[in-house]
Every structure is written in structure tokens, then in C-alpha cells.
Amino acid sequence: MKIRTRAFLALWLISILIAATLGFILYALYIVAPGMDAERERIAQTRSIHAALWHTLVSLEHDQHDFFNLPSITERRQQERQAVND
């Protein structure tokens, strides 16, 4: 067998392996796609719930400070620093 023939056979083998790999990846993505969509939806719902809870917590904290007439956090930090410095 000539070197040229072996080189063409090697190129064809590499081409077949690349085509098989791409086919396997595309098939795997086709099989997994519905599960990935469901996972994305679950994550989006979890993030929206977390954001709503966080927003509620922050607004309740501000309401609590307003209701009990508590000093702001900067005032409390200054008071703590003054206490440490004294």
C-alpha cells in the first residue's frame, strides 16, 4: 500500500469518527432537551420566589424600623464605634 492511500484512509477514518461524535452529541442533546427545559423553568421559578421573599423581607425591615422608630444602620454603627473608642 502506498503512503498516499494510507493517508486517505486515515483521513476518511478521522472524518467518520468526527461525524459519529457529532451525531452522538446531537442525539444526546435531543434526548436531554425536555429535561433541560424543565430544569430551567424550575430554576426560574425558584429565583422569582427568592426575589419576592427577599423584597418582602427588606420592606418589612424598613417598616419595622419606621414603626419602632429605630435608628438607621449608619447611626447604629457610629454609636458602636463611639462606644468602642470611649
DSSP 83: H
C-alpha cell at 20: 459519529
What's the rounded Cα separation, in Å, for the pair 16 and 19? 5
C-alpha cell at 11: 483521513
Cα separations in angstroms, 47 against 33, 35, 40, 54:
21, 18, 11, 10
Domain boundaries, the chain: 3-85
**Backbone torsions φ then ψ of 36, nearest 5 degrees:** -65, -40
Q: What is the pLDDT of residue 27?
A: 95
Per-residue pLDDT of the chain (86 residues; tens, 9 = 90+): 788 899 999 999 999 999 999 999 999 999 988 888 889 999 999 999 999 999 988 888 776 766 666 667 677 778 888 888 87
Q: What is the pLDDT of residue 71?
A: 67
